[in-house]
Amino acid sequence: MNIYVGNLSWNLKDQDLQNLFASHGEVSSAKIVLDKFTNRSKGFGFVEMPNDDQAQAAISALNGSEVDGRNIVVNESRPKPEGSGGGGFKKKKLRWRRRRL
């Protein structure tokens, strides 16, 4: 099961997230999402646990708990809706007007 973890302290590292969930069962991976320009935490991450029962127990135990001075949000990760890919800016369509002389 893929688990979303939000409202994380910027001081936490991937290993801290893994250790937090390891007490509830086997953790396949734990990754805090970083800003690609500043390389600083965005304040959320994802944890993968192969056993769904252990993952549900971890979600129940950790959601709302305090970690490094912040109450974290923990729930099952939902896939992105179709067509909501990418970010950044969109190119504006330029409209040219002909000037009358």
pLDDT in tens, 54-93: 999 999 999 999 999 999 999 999 887 766 555 556 655 5
- Nearest C-alpha neighbor of 56 from the set 32, 24, 8, 31: 24
pTM: 0.77
Lowest mean pLDDT among 13-17, 23-27, 78-82: 78-82
Q: How many domains does the chain have?
A: 1
Q: Can you give the pLDDT at residue 67?
A: 95
pLDDT at 3 exceeding the cut of 80: yes
Backbone phi and psi for residue 93, each to the nearest 5 degrees, phi listed first: -80, 125
Q: Can you give the pLDDT at residue 89?
A: 60
Domain with 64, as residue range(s), is: 2-76
- Which CATH number fits the domain that encloses residue 22? 3.30.70.330
> Quick one: average pLDDT of 12-19?
96
